[in-house]
Copies of this chain bind each other. A is one copy, B any other.
Amino acid sequence: MDVKDLDINSGIAASALVDQFEGTGFQATNIVRAVRLIRRMQQDKAFIILTFTANMAASGLRSLFAKMVEKKMVNMIITTGGAVEHDFIRSFEPYQLGDFDLNDLELNDKGINRIGNILVPNERYVLLEQKLKPVFEKFKDRHVSPSEFIEELGRHTDDKKSFLYWATKNNIPIFSPGITDSAIGLQTYFFKQDNKAFGIDVTADMKRVEDTILAAEKTGGIILGGGISKHHAIGVNILRGGLDYAVYVTTASPFDGSLSGATTNEAKSWGKITHEADTVTVYSDATIAFPLIFSAII
Chain A interface residues (CB < 8 Å from chain B): 1-17, 20-29, 31, 53-55, 58-64, 66-67, 80, 82, 90, 94-97, 100-102, 104-105, 107-109, 112-118, 143, 161, 177-182, 185-186, 188-189, 192-193, 198-207, 210, 225-228, 231-232, 235-236, 238-239, 251-262, 265-266, 268-271, 275, 283-289, 291-292, 294-295, 298
Contacts and interface: CB of A to CB of B under 8 A. Distances in A.
Contact of A3 (B53, B58, B239, B251): B58
Nearest to A94: B2
A21 B289 CA distance: 12
Given A53-B259, A55-B259, A114-B269, A24 B201 contact: no
A182 B15 contact: no
Contact of A54 (B259, B285, B292): B259
21 contacts: A3-B58, A6-B64, A24-B287, A25-B116, A25-B117, A26-B55, A28-B287, A29-B117, A53-B258, A55-B258, A58-B257, A102-B269, A104-B266, A105-B275, A108-B271, A112-B269, A143-B199, A177-B181, A177-B185, A181-B235, A186-B206
A83 B203 CA distance: 18
Contact of A257 (B25, B235, B238): B25
Contacts of A193: 207
B256 A116 contact: yes
Given A5-B63, A227-B228, A12 B10 contact: no
Contacts of A289: 288
Contacts of A22: 97
A203 B199 CA distance: 6
The 3 A-B residue pairs whose C-beta atoms are closest, nearest first, are A116-B257, A178-B178, A5-B63
Contact of A100 (B107, B113, B255, B258): B255
